[in-house]
Amino acid sequence: MRIRIAAIAAALSVSLPTLAGSSSAAPAPTFTLASRAGQDVSLAQYKGQVVMLNFWASWCGPCRQEMPLLESIYKKDSKVSKLYDVAGMPSTVIIDRNGKLRVLHRGYKPGDENEYLDSIRTLIRE
């Protein structure tokens, strides 16, 4: 299982009615991972920014289809996916500027990346 962390300065966010727009969203679980370059990457260092996490697996067809569409930093770590209650692949998480988990998107189909962009733009405007 791999995790991609992308701090998006300009825009992305999935519009899922259950999480997006919720002012009482739960705080996102914190974590630190070693990047491919060997440097630590933590959720805390992106505080104040909108963050998108994408959980995926190499055996997942929709994940492979989605991979080229997302810029990311890769690292294996199943503990983090458990923190985010990842039950299927791919799973994408978007966290707002206040560190609150706002979107949990399971699965992938072509066009989902547009929903990511819309949601991130919405969160950036907040």
Chain segment 62-79, per-residue pLDDT in tens: 888 877 776 443 344 756
Q: Is the pLDDT of residue 118 over 80?
A: yes
The percent of the chain in helix, strand and coil, each rounded to the nearest 5, is 25, 30, 45
| pLDDT for res 68 | 72
In CATH terms, 2-125 corresponds, of 3.40.30.10, 1.20.120.1780, 3.40.50.720, 3.40.605.10, to 3.40.30.10
The residue whose two tokens read 């997006």 is: 20
Domain residue ranges in the chain: 2-125
Residues 97 and 122 sit within 8 Å (Cβ to Cβ): no
Chain segment 48-65, per-residue pLDDT in tens: 777 878 788 888 888 888
